[in-house]
Amino acid sequence: MIKSLLYIITAISFIASSEAKRLEVLFLGDNGSHKPSERFPQIMQGLGPRGVNFTYTSDPNCLHDGTLEQFDALMIFANIGQITEEQEKGILDYVYNGGAFLPIHCASYCFLNSMKYVKLVGAQFKSHGAGIFKTDIKKPDHPIMKGFKGFETWDETYVHRLGTNDRNVLQTREGEPWTWTREPGKGRVFYTAYGHDQRTWGNPGFHDLVHRGLLWAIGEEKSEEFLSSEIPNLVRRDGDLVPNYERRTEPIKVHIPLNVKDSLKHTQVANGIDVSLFASEELGLYSVIEIDWDEKGRAWVIETRDYPNELKPAEQGQDRIRILEDTNGDGKADKAILFADKLSIPTGMCFARGGLIVQMAPHFLFLKDTDGDDKADVREILFSGWSTGDTHAGPSNLKYGFDNWIWGVMGYAGFNGKVGEKQHRFGQGVYRFKPDGSELEYLGRTSNNTWGLGFSENNDVFISTANNQSSVYMPIPKTEYDRFEGLDQSGSLPGIDSNKKFFPITPNFRQVDVFGGFTAAAGHHLYTARSFPKDWWNKTALVNAPTGNLVYRAQIKPEGSHFVAENGWNLVASADEWFSPIYSEVGPDGAIWMSDWYSFLIQHNPTPNKGRGGFDAKRGRGNAFESPLRDYTRTRIYRFTAKGIKPSKTFDLSQKNPDDLLSALQSDNMLWRMHAQRLIVESNDKKTFTPKLKAIIKNSKPDEIGIAGGAIHALWALHGLGSIDHETVELGLGHKSPGARRAAAAVAPKTNKSTKLLLTMVNDPNHQVRKDVLLAISKMPPSEEAGKTLHSIRKDNFILNDRWLPTAFQMASSRHGAGYLKAALAVSVPANATGTPKAVEIPKENLIQNPGFEAIDGTLPKLWKPRTYSGKANHKIVSPGRGGKGYAIMIDSDSGADSSVYIDIKVKKRTTYQLNAWVKTEGVKTLRGGRGAQLNLHALPDQPRTAAIKGDKDWTKVSVTFKTDDRGSVGINCLYGGWGFATGKAYWDDIELIQIDAGQGPDISEDTESIVAANLYRHGSTVQISSVLNHIVTKPTKLGNRIKSMIRAPKVTVKETKEDEKSLSKTHQVLKLKAIEGLKFDRTNLEAKAGEPIAIIVSNPDLLQHNFVIGNPGTLDKIGLSADSIITNPKAIEMNYVPEIDEIIGSSKLLDPGAVEIIKLGPLKKGKYPYVCTFPGHWRIMQGYLNVE
């Protein structure tokens, strides 16, 4: 019979793909205090070994939408208050027509508005106490109770009311009916009051009771069929050295590998999904590290024997790339063509330039078949520099990008090499390069080893890292930040994984750390076709977790311009401990194709030793420990297809027929759209494709989820062809699909006309569109009009309350800084304004709800939730708390844990807070780098934290002061262990969070003004910088005083005069004068002879604009007063700020920085001639005299 633990955890049920019969149970929970989603895995572990599959949902609409018909039984563990008439009818019809119903514990206080439901259950909860007890068996001969010994547990002591007379009571507690059955209509109901928390749900006696109740409730016929089916045993062998990092009492033994058929009997896939084998070792396959598909739809595979430790010199490797074909249409490969061999540890590939780019550290290779025999006869090094120090930390996941560059990710081994004319050095993260290898860019750093990359259909970039961060989002590339001073990526790209756990269906999964979480996450391809259910489309990311023997579904959900990856449970999981998914992606048919590495040992490092792992091992050349358990003789490629949904239409684009390419460009499968885009760009056939691509943009319509794939890829294809024009951009910006509008913004030519088009989009209702529009504006030629427009939306809450829009806004504003700052200066407070701004009142109340844990829900404080990162810990309320009164929260562990109790708190953005708390410890010791007992802040960079307490310490106050960023909430953790394990008991009480400064609230104006000012020298012309500085000088404001010192002055080069000075001196007395910094001329007196012509060469090496005006003797004040009045003249600039009065005998134009002009004067009489600059505000300081003698 079944000995391995087989349990199912998926949002859309797992089913066994074998002859073995498994029962399907729908588990209806809620988001209430009983935490059904946390109890769910416990019952899976308990009943999984007995062949029971469970599906979790918290949506009561499952009771009437046809879902129940797919299941053998319905289990409810929830406190849902109300039920609709349709839902009530659905559950009654299901049970009365023969369905099995298992209400557990609090399900007797569910759907309070339905007496029919109360009757169906058999009673309604009335009240409870709590304690440790064992119930009395009243019907020992009943099929459920026969041979059942009962069990002792801590639980709530339920008392019920409204009990029906037809209940068959099987157990009582102190006379109170506890477990019973009913038989309404053709169905059966099994109820037990057991089940408040993890203590009962993890009890083997409870598992046995529920299993017995389930077998009775489904009826004798189904029960007998189920019990007669078997899943093959896993036969284990002795003598192997298996690392025991988990410190199990009994180290795991290797089981004998299974053939494909038997492996699938231990494997479950999502309900409604079928799995089939495409290829295996029967075709000579070994260790498939990646699958890709060419423009014919053929599967290409990288096979490796050298990985991880046998890296070999060029042309001496054992690895290869083969093309697998299904020639008879049975869905299974029957032909393999060798494209290239003698490779050594190739880790990724991508089609480009009529060939294949292959990652094979230290090189990237370009392989090409030039004679049509499907064999590479060109092998060139594209560029080099990839480290070979650790073969599982190198480059991987090459992908052709929307932007017609090649994208990839890199692990911690890093890159150090020259590409084109530029030297690069970087570590783990994401990068892109041009297909010809002429240019490379590093786009963002990840937090740890990285082996996953995926694009959404809207060109959002997602990444997976191996350890505890299975989903990462790249909102803005590093290359954008590098263009601006004062803006940076602030460390690693943000993780978006809201769920840190994975869900194996065997207890025998083996890990090094982050036990129960992702330690070897690989891949992050999204489902980008339409041959699966709609909730997969452009939402499900496939994250392979080979150490858990599963493929996880991360459900990508937008949050403004950010994303969050929510728990979607599993696509597939296996109890076959050799089952090791490492690569999953949508294929040409819309199916999900998966490579099962199939090796009992998948772990790379660290190298085991006696203290950690149980034995001493040797490290190999690839930094992986050496072991005979690394198997290279078996590998499997599976295809997952959705029942009842048509596959994608496939194409053969190898002939590059324009009609075929344009048709494929509009496929519902992004794989074909990307192939078509690439081939169109590589054709360079502008004449044929440009008008037809424009027609696609014009005529395409968004699909059911708002994607217009044809328009998006047509825009990028035109960009690649160099055929983007303003008419096409305008067409794209007006598209109904947000993705098309984003693409149009991204490909817009860098012109003033594009700026005007983009400025019409700054109020787009879609956050991602607005982000990409702002980023596009940040690359356009500097424009004062753009800066003015951007300043007008600086207080738009749509921007301010978003995660990434403020950054994109500051980039755009910095690019058009002169206009932005002029607009800001125009509304700034005058420098001489008096009065003190009204002080902002800072609230001093504690922002933590239930800070002393006085409000209790069962064993935990209300609003606070437990979370365990690894290990096993207990969380509970204890009394007394600090000061010998009230309550405290306690976390303890005997074996070691990294765990917390946390609460999420809303906070103001960019505001300083102080977190205080009291901590007590009893025998707290740290392991594996743990810190002890402390508090820390989730979601903030560097996770601010208090001092850590360990050992035996009485109540100790701990504090930390921190400043929030652009997020509106923080998670406050009472942290036990912390970046490692702790043992012993730790207590927390009287948690306090107080605001200690006014913060900046939702207004980023001051930050933006400073950033724009600091970047003016980078993005503004000398003339634009001059105009801002002139504004600051002529109209003093408090803002001007603040930012003047931030504006870096570029070096001004004075132009040559139009006339040669030597020639000029033959006819004129030549004098020189400069306008210099500080509103001065470099000379306040010039000397000339009467009766001879004079030429004054006036130059402006200053950053401000100036002019030169000279008048008759004694006219200084009149000229100056006239200059004051000219400010109101609408034509003042056209007049170069030169007053139209007779007293002026000569003047220059308005001189920009670096300009020079010659002012020629006729012979003058003796006298003292005043000269000034009449630019507004200058003349009283900037003056001098021409002394004619």
Examine residue 254 and state whether it is found in any structural domain, yes or no: no
Question: 1094-1099 and 1069-1076 as β-strands: parallel, antiparallel, unpaired?
Answer: parallel
Whether residue 873 sits in one domain with residue 787: no
The yes-or-no verdict on residue 1050 having pLDDT over 80 is no
Whether residue 334 sits in one domain with residue 210: no
Domain boundary among 955, 971, 995: 995
In whole angstroms, give the CA distance from residue 225 to residue 72: 12
The yes-or-no verdict on residue 1145 having pLDDT over 50 is yes
Averaged pLDDT, 1101-1109: 91
Examine residue 772 and state whether it is found in any structural domain, yes or no: yes
Query: What one-letter code names the amino acid at 480?
Result: E
Whether residue 155 sits in one domain with residue 86: yes
| Residue corresponding to tokens 């990444």 | 463
Whether residue 623 sits in one domain with residue 484: yes
pLDDT digits (tens, 9 = 90+) for 323-335: 999 999 999 999 9
pLDDT digits (tens, 9 = 90+) for 994-1018: 998 776 556 788 889 999 999 998 9
Whether residue 319 sits in one domain with residue 454: yes
Averaged pLDDT, 1091-1099: 96
Query: pLDDT value at position 541?
Result: 99
Residue 1023 confidence class, pLDDT cut points 50, 70, 90: confident
Q: Give the 3-state secondary structure of residue 1026.
A: helix
The yes-or-no verdict on residue 718 having pLDDT over 90 is yes
Q: Which CATH number is 146's domain given?
A: 3.40.50.880
Domain boundary among 228, 251, 285: 228
Q: Residue 871: CA atoms inside 13 Å, Cβ hemisphere, count?
A: 24
User: What size, in residues, is the chain?
Assistant: 1189
Contact present, 634 and 280 (Cβ < 8 Å) = yes
The yes-or-no verdict on residue 886 having pLDDT over 60 is yes
Averaged pLDDT, 329-356: 98
Contact present, 151 and 188 (Cβ < 8 Å) = no
Ramachandran category for residue 385: left, alpha or beta (phi over 0 → left; psi -120 to 50 → alpha): left
What lies within 8 Å, CB to CB, of 638 at 6+ separation is 275, 276, 277, 278, 572, 593, 594, 596
CA distances from 15 to 54, 264, 266 (A): 9, 11, 10
Contact present, 1005 and 1084 (Cβ < 8 Å) = no
Weakest mean pLDDT among 90-99, 346-355, 609-618, 630-639? 609-618
Averaged pLDDT, 285-293: 98
Averaged pLDDT, 905-929: 90
Whether residue 479 sits in one domain with residue 392: yes
The yes-or-no verdict on residue 229 having pLDDT over 80 is no
The more confident residue out of 53 and 966 is 53
Averaged pLDDT, 233-244: 92
In 618-705, at which residue ranges do the beta strands (DSSP E only) sit? 636-642
Averaged pLDDT, 940-963: 90
Structurally, how many domains does the chain consist of? 5
The more confident residue out of 639 and 315 is 639
Whether residue 638 sits in one domain with residue 663: no
Query: pLDDT value at position 838?
Result: 57
- Please state, as a whole number, how many other Cβ atoms lie within 10 Å of the Cβ of residue 971: 17
Averaged pLDDT, 545-570: 96
Q: What residues make up the domain containing 127?
A: 21-228
Examine residue 965 and state whether it is found in any structural domain, yes or no: yes
Query: pLDDT value at position 14?
Result: 37
pLDDT digits (tens, 9 = 90+) for 1059-1073: 888 889 999 999 999
pLDDT digits (tens, 9 = 90+) for 794-847: 999 999 989 999 999 999 999 999 999 999 999 998 888 776 555 556 667 899
Whether residue 383 sits in one domain with residue 280: yes
Query: pLDDT value at position 836?
Result: 58
Query: pLDDT value at position 1103?
Result: 82
Short-list 980, 459, 952, CA closest to 738: 459
In whole angstroms, give the CA distance from residue 537 to residue 456: 10
In whole angstroms, give the CA distance from residue 451 to residue 524: 9
Domain boundary among 995, 1012, 1036: 995
Question: 100-103 and 73-76 as β-strands: parallel, antiparallel, unpaired?
Answer: parallel
pLDDT digits (tens, 9 = 90+) for 560-603: 999 999 999 999 989 899 999 999 999 999 999 999 999 999 98
Examine residue 367 and state whether it is found in any structural domain, yes or no: yes
Whether residue 268 sits in one domain with residue 159: no
Q: Which CATH number is 733's domain given?
A: 1.25.10.10
Short-list 218, 260, 204, 183, CA closest to 21: 218
Distance of CA 840 to the CA centre of its chain: 36
Residue 1119 confidence class, pLDDT cut points 50, 70, 90: very high
Q: Express as a percent the part of the chain with pLDDT over 70.
A: 97
What lies within 8 Å, CB to CB, of 246 at 6+ separation is 510, 511, 515
Question: 153-161 and 176-182 as β-strands: parallel, antiparallel, unpaired?
Answer: unpaired
Residue 10 confidence class, pLDDT cut points 50, 70, 90: very low
| pTM of structure | 0.83
Average pLDDT, the chain: 93
Averaged pLDDT, 683-692: 98
pLDDT digits (tens, 9 = 90+) for 698-716: 999 999 999 999 999 999 9
Q: At what angle do helices 1005-1019 and 805-815 cross, to 10 degrees?
A: 40
Examine residue 1008 and state whether it is found in any structural domain, yes or no: no
Q: Express as a percent the part of the chain with pLDDT over 90.
A: 78
Examine residue 841 and state whether it is found in any structural domain, yes or no: no
Q: Which CATH number is 965's domain given?
A: 2.60.120.260
One DSSP character per residue, 715-728 reads: HHHHHHHT---HHH
Whether residue 772 sits in one domain with residue 885: no
Examine residue 246 and state whether it is found in any structural domain, yes or no: no
Whether residue 432 sits in one domain with residue 360: yes
Query: pLDDT value at position 3?
Result: 27
Whether residue 329 sits in one domain with residue 293: yes
Averaged pLDDT, 512-525: 92
Query: pLDDT value at position 19?
Result: 52
Query: pLDDT value at position 2?
Result: 28
In whole angstroms, give the CA distance from residue 581 to residue 528: 20
The yes-or-no verdict on residue 489 having pLDDT over 90 is no
Weakest mean pLDDT among 833-837, 863-867, 920-924? 833-837
Q: Which CATH number is 1161's domain given?
A: 2.60.40.420
The more confident residue out of 297 and 968 is 297
